[in-house]
Chains A and B, each alone.
Chain A
Amino acid sequence: MNEYTYPIIAGITVGTALRVFMLRTDYRQYPTYLHGKIIHLSLGFIAAALGTIAIPSIMEKEFTAVTFLTLAASQFREVRNMERNTLTEMDSYELVPRGNTYIEGIAVAFESRNYLVIFTSFVVTLCYLAINGWAALGAAFVCFVISSLLMSGSKLSDIVTVELSELSFKGAGLYVDNIYIMNIGLPERQDEILKYGMGFILTPKSFSVRSTIANLGQRQAILHDVSVTLGVFRDSGTPALVPLIKRDLNDGRIGVFILPQEKDPVRAKEIISSVPVLENAIQMPSRKRNREG
């Protein structure tokens, strides 16, 4: 026991607790298995330890120890690769895949969470040593709030309005409102689609948003989230029964055609509204104009 023992315990405990707080299993269904959780909790513990140890090292003028943080950065980049590979492998067995853009977003989130743990442990230990335990407690609270803010991105309801719309056939063409979705030739399939299908129109709230919702990865994320939550009326070998999203080229609206097992329009609207806006899909063409102006 020395003067660093309690600050180190505090830093590691708060950092690991933050990782547990951020490791929530939700409708995205990952990670649901125990071993996956153990991997992330272990890496969170290591990240917390690295962030904590940096402060006593600096105080003891052991500046080279801080270079371990760069080692941590490369390790956590490996975490991103691990997540990307795992999710890509799993995606090929999904009836409605996540898509690469969604997977990349999740992988980046897993990496960045470890950096948040390092930062939190660093700040908590610093406050403990520089001020006192109460200051460390306050710093921990602030870090939890900041982390939860940083980890909650915007949702689709922030950028589009979601409205339920009727499905209709004109000949063999399936339409959501006036947006053409696909050609379904067999009357039997058309009946199934009208019975089980639902349509939604997503109208962009601003010009910049048009490019974001036009992104194919963002569209796939919408279909995946709805299918995971409400189920999907399809099986392998029935490619005609596939949820799809198409775009109205005139005004940038998108027509969402889904085939849920539970036909609940209110719930489906809620789910579409809360689909995360993927970081990789965000484009801001209006920023370009502002700079030129």
Chain B
Amino acid sequence: MKMEKAILAAITTQSEKVTGSTAVFHCETKEEMEAVAANLEAILDGIAHALSDRLYIIVKH
């Protein structure tokens, strides 16, 4: 089976909302979260999607 899409990382300022096996990056502020997401997007060749103001996920399409 070929995986079409996968969550590569989660970036959040709301640590209690994210658990599980994916890589989670805990940030202090929204600005820090955006900077980390922008870096991870470029490094992982994925897209940063916003699930809420305090939670981004990087998805490989």
Contacts and interface: CB of A to CB of B under 8 A. Distances in A.
Interface in B19-61: 34, 37-38, 41-42, 45-50, 56, 61
B42 A237 contact: yes
Contact of A239 (B34, B37, B45, B56): B45
A189 interface: yes
Contacts of B34: 186-188
Nearest to A171: B50
A183 B49 contact: yes
A172 B45 CA distance: 19
Interface residues of A, number: 15
Contact of B48 (A171, A186, A236, A237): A186
A185 B46 CA distance: 12
Contacts of A188: 34, 38
A189 to B, nearest CB: 7
A240 B41 CA distance: 9
Q: Number of contact residues on B: which range applies?
A: 10 to 19
Interface in A156-209: 171-172, 182-189
A238 interface: yes
Contact of B46 (A182, A183, A239): A239
Contacts of A238: 42
A67 to B, nearest CB: 46
B44 to A, nearest CB: 9
Nearest to A240: B47
A183 B42 CA distance: 17
Is the contact region of chain A dominated by helix, strand, or loop, or is it mixed?
loop
Contacts of B47: 182-185, 239-240
Contacts of B49: 172, 183-185
A85 B42 CA distance: 31
B14 to A, nearest CB: 15
A236 B50 CA distance: 22
B61 A185 contact: no
Interface string A222-266: 000000000000001111100000000000000000000000000
Given A172-B50, A237-B45, A186 B38 contact: yes
B42 A189 contact: no
A237 B45 CA distance: 5
Nearest to B47: A240
A239 B43 CA distance: 11
B31 to A, nearest CB: 10
Interface in A126-183: 171-172, 182-183
Contact of B61 (A171, A184, A187, A239): A239
Contacts of A236: 45
Given A186-B34, A188-B38, A240 B45 contact: no
11 contacts: A172-B50, A182-B47, A183-B49, A184-B48, A185-B49, A185-B50, A186-B50, A187-B34, A239-B45, A239-B47, A240-B41
Give me the 5 closest cross-chain CB pairs, A-B, nearest first: A185-B50, A172-B50, A185-B48, A183-B49, A240-B47
Interface of B: 34, 37-38, 41-42, 45-50, 56, 61
Interface of A: 171-172, 182-189, 236-240
